[in-house]
A = this chain, B = another copy of it.
């Protein structure tokens, strides 16, 4: 029967799949850094060629920035259509110093593949390519119609996919969307993620005098943009861990009782979590457990800061400018535009005298909640149970996958978020990794999913 042949194909090609993934990872397709533009094009070409080789109609769609790869196989008449989304771009690898092996030289240690993009999202995205390949090579056809939409701007909140989706409703029409760009709850505990946080990411520039000054000659008379920036950033959160922007929590949907109960059942050890990070204590909003704060409460983090002299030795400079990147993780039903407006009002109120402040929006996306009692979620649960050998748990995630909201708005579909990664995969940090065992279980579950979605209950 078909499933046996699929299983046999997957088993026979484990080594090939790993080598192909490594090849893709070696392309440093950092979307945020313009000097890697050639690499993003190369990564798009790689994905395109792989999809074309297995028999899909594939195309590279140029955009103003990084290209989109689209591919389709529509031979399953009368069957549902599944849109598989992924991204071939990766976060910047910096800082480089803490990496134990070069970020773009995939290296296997203890069954894990270490590299930038190993899990986010090249490795996870690749499971779906290989699942489709298995069906087409072993069976000659797919149980459902499949459309791939692989972009190159996920890590920079690229507006170009948004435009493309908005302009191609008919082409992208589907019954289900599937994304693997998240984590299992723990090793051996695969999960279906039914909630994601949104994101509102800003860059702030503070300007004082028209030039750097001597802190002795001018100190005490001229505003210091670094002191001002500290005051502004400190004003974003109160000592209770709550975000201190007036109105910020107005639209926040409270956690439901069943969710708090489910989260409590999960085997989450605060002590282990803390020990892994080597922090003396966990922090955050009062009145919520750590999982609740991570998954379902809004947060505010400064992501980067600069200004003045950061070299060796003391320099008594009163700098003329300073800047920072900071972001809010949003929850349903917060709107990034409303958050921006509230933030601007707050900045006007807290801005110290003597400086000017410029605020730029870098990224914005609302949070997502999927109905867990739906045919697609049921099919995914069955596929994962067969691929991993255990039933998945239902979780939310602190991360943001803006495309989920985009697909909902444009195509009116919910997305199945099937994460094959682990929480300690260090995505976005140094030594990002992906378990090779999970890679193969992910491919198997993805292959089964196509069949389960063909017969939803």
- Residues in chain A within 8 A of chain B (CB atoms): 31-34, 91-92, 94-95, 98, 155-157, 183, 197, 199, 201, 203, 208-224, 226-227, 229-237, 239, 241, 273, 277-285, 290, 293-294, 297-319, 322-325, 327, 329, 352-354, 356, 362-363, 397-400, 423, 426-431
Contact = CB atoms under 8 A, between A and B. Distances in A.
B315 A224 contact: no
B219 A301 contact: yes
Contacts of A318: 301, 303
Contacts of A282: 221-222, 354
B221 A294 contact: yes
Nearest to A35: B312
Contacts of A236: 227
A431 B284 CA distance: 46
Given A230-B234, A301-B318, A304-B317, A329 B277 contact: no
Given A282-B354, A304-B319, A293 B227 contact: no
A307 B308 contact: no
Given A216-B398, A217-B397, 13 more contacts: A199-B216, A217-B294, A218-B294, A219-B301, A221-B284, A224-B302, A283-B352, A283-B354, A303-B317, A305-B322, A309-B325, A314-B363, A316-B400
Contacts of A297: 220
Nearest to A120: B214
B277 A31 contact: no
Contacts of A241: 220
Contacts of A290: 221
A398 B218 contact: yes
The copy count of this chain in the complex is: 2
A277 B215 contact: no
Contact of A214 (B215, B235, B315, B399): B399
Q: Which of A280, A293, A308 has the most CB of B within 10 A?
A: A308
Given A314-B327, A322-B305, A423-B217, A277 B212 contact: no
Contacts of A212: 95, 98, 426, 428-430
A227 B222 contact: no
A279 B429 contact: no
A426 B352 CA distance: 25
A311 B304 CA distance: 9
Given A329-B220, A399-B217, A91 B33 contact: no
Nearest to A203: B314
A134 to B, nearest CB: 30
A213 B34 CA distance: 24
A374 to B, nearest CB: 24
A285 B220 contact: yes
Contacts of A95: 212
Given A222-B277, A305-B226, A309-B304, A299 B215 contact: yes
A201 B285 CA distance: 34
Q: Which of A214, A280, A284, A301 has the most CB of B within 10 A?
A: A301
Contact of A33 (B231, B279, B294, B313): B313
Nearest to A197: B216
A336 to B, nearest CB: 13
A302 to B, nearest CB: 4
Contacts of A209: 277-279
A322 B308 CA distance: 14
Nearest to A282: B221
Closest 6 CB pairs of A and B: A32-B313, A216-B399, A304-B308, A230-B233, A234-B234, A226-B302
A428 B235 CA distance: 31
B398 A428 contact: no
Contacts of A353: 281, 283
Contacts of A157: 314
17 contacts: A32-B311, A98-B211, A214-B428, A215-B428, A216-B398, A216-B400, A220-B284, A220-B398, A223-B279, A224-B302, A226-B303, A227-B300, A227-B301, A303-B309, A304-B310, A310-B323, A310-B325
Contacts of A324: 226
Contacts of A352: 239, 283
B322 A227 contact: no
